[in-house]
Structure 1
Amino acid sequence: MTHKHLFFAFLRVGLLGYGGGPAAIPLVQKEVVENYKWMTDDEFSDMLAMGNTLPGPIATKLAGYVGYRVSGIPGMLNALAASVLPTVILMILLLATLSSFRDLGWVQGMTRGVIPVVAVLLGVLTWGFIEKSNKDLGWLKVTLLIVASVLLIQLAGVHPAIVIAALIIFVLTKPTGRKKEGEEA
């Protein structure tokens, strides 16, 4: 039963994640956290943060990790197949079909119409991360990190991977606060 659930959860993501990996993230979160409760919101956020630091498409990294966590290597292969196969099949069919119709208005309208929906999905996911960060860091630090990230990435042209790597290095190397008496190390 678990393999069936894994397959259909990531098949839905693969079929409905129009717009690439970032558009699929809210769909994966809905399946993994809300529908099947394979992990909590905090665990999902941590997995997504770590997945974004690694190279490659995020949707397949999420599928691989969740599949492995739920059902080991067979689960990983199952989730990966379910998330990749729809894209491969649909790409072959759509590109063969739509390439001959790409100049028609309805095809151009279809592709332009999806962009605002993807933007809303990403906005909802972003707001969830901001709220989680607020609980951990507080609004002042969250606001400073957002502003600094926007300035570095958009205005200074620093690659996002460099900003993420710098933050990870900072968190891993920063001194921790002193423990109060009676707390374990």
Structure 2
Amino acid sequence: MKQFQLFYAFLKVGLLGYGGGPSSIPLVHKEVVERYKWLSDDEFGDILALGNTLPGPIATKMAGYIGYRVGGVLGTVLSLIATTVPTIILMIVLLTSLSSFKDLDWVQGMTKAVVPVVGVMLAVLTWQFFENAKKGLGWVKTVIFGVASLLLLEWLNVHPGILIGVLLVAALVKKNKKEQEGGSSS
């Protein structure tokens, strides 16, 4: 049953994730965190952060990892097929048919109308991440990290992978320091 649920969840992502990775992320979140509860918000955030540091499309990286975590090797295969095959079929069908209609107003309007919807979906997901960060760090640290990340990513052009890597190492060092302090005081 879990294999079918994996396939179905990622099939929806593959069919409805119009616009690529940014539009797929909220759909994956809805399925794996909210609907099936295979992951917590924190685990999803960790997978998303790590997936963003690796090359390639985010939807397939997340499908592969989540599929493996939930359903093993078969889960990985089913999740990847469900994520990629609809896109391949839709690309072939749509590109052959839409290329003859691309100059029509309704086709151009359709593609322009999707942009705000994806923007809202990303804003909702961002707000959820801030809410979760607030629970762990508090508002002040969350805002400081958010502003610092914005400055580093947008104005100083630091690669997101470097920023995420530094934060992961800092968290591990802090965790190890706390464990050593806790172990030495016992």
Detail structure 1 runs of 4+ shifted over 4 Å in the superposition: 180-183
Report percent identity of matched pairs: 58
2:149 corresponds in structure 1 to: 149
Between the two structures, name the one with larger relative contact order (CA 8 Å, sep ≥ 6).
2
Aligned to 1:73: 73
Instruction: State how 1:1-185 maps to structure 2 within 5 Å.
Output: 1-174=1-174, 176-177=177-178, 178-179=181-182
Larger helix share, 1 or 2: 2
- Name the count of aligned residue pairs: 183
Distance in 1, matches of 2:63 and 2:23, equals 14
SS in 1 for 2:164: helix
Separation in structure 2 between the aligned mates of residue 143 and residue 14 of structure 1, nearest angstrom: 34
Q: CA deviation at 1:80?
A: 0.5
Please say if residues 49 and 164 of structure 2, whose CA atoms lie closer than 8 Å, have aligned partners that are also in contact: no
CA distance in 1, matches of 2:162, 2:60: 22
d(CA) in 1 for partners of 2:169, 2:38: 29
Instruction: Give me the whole-angstrom Cα distance separating, in 1, the residues matched to 2:82 and 2:31.
Output: 13
More displaced stretch, 153-162 vs 106-115: 153-162
RMSD, aligned α-carbons: 1.9
Q: Which moved more, 1:98-107 or 1:166-175?
A: 166-175
Q: Secondary structure at the match of 2:102?
A: coil
The CA distance in 2 between the partners of 1:152 and 1:135, in whole Å, is: 24
Moved more, 67-76 or 149-158: 149-158
SS at match of 2:177: coil
Give the C-alpha shift of residue 52 in structure 1. 2.0
Aligned counterparts of 2:34 and 2:158: Cα–Cα separation in 1: 35
Deviation of 1:168 (Å): 2.4
Q: CA deviation at 1:169?
A: 3.0
Q: Which moved more, 1:107-116 or 1:43-52?
A: 43-52
1:102 alignment partner, SS class:
coil
CA contact (8 A) 2:51 2:62 kept: yes
Distance in structure 1 (CA, Å) of the matches to 2:154 and 2:69: 36
> Structure 2: which 5+ residue stretches go unaligned?
none
Moved more, 172-181 or 34-43: 172-181
Q: Which moved more, 1:28-37 or 1:169-178?
A: 169-178
- Distance in 1 between the 2:2 and 2:152 partners? 43
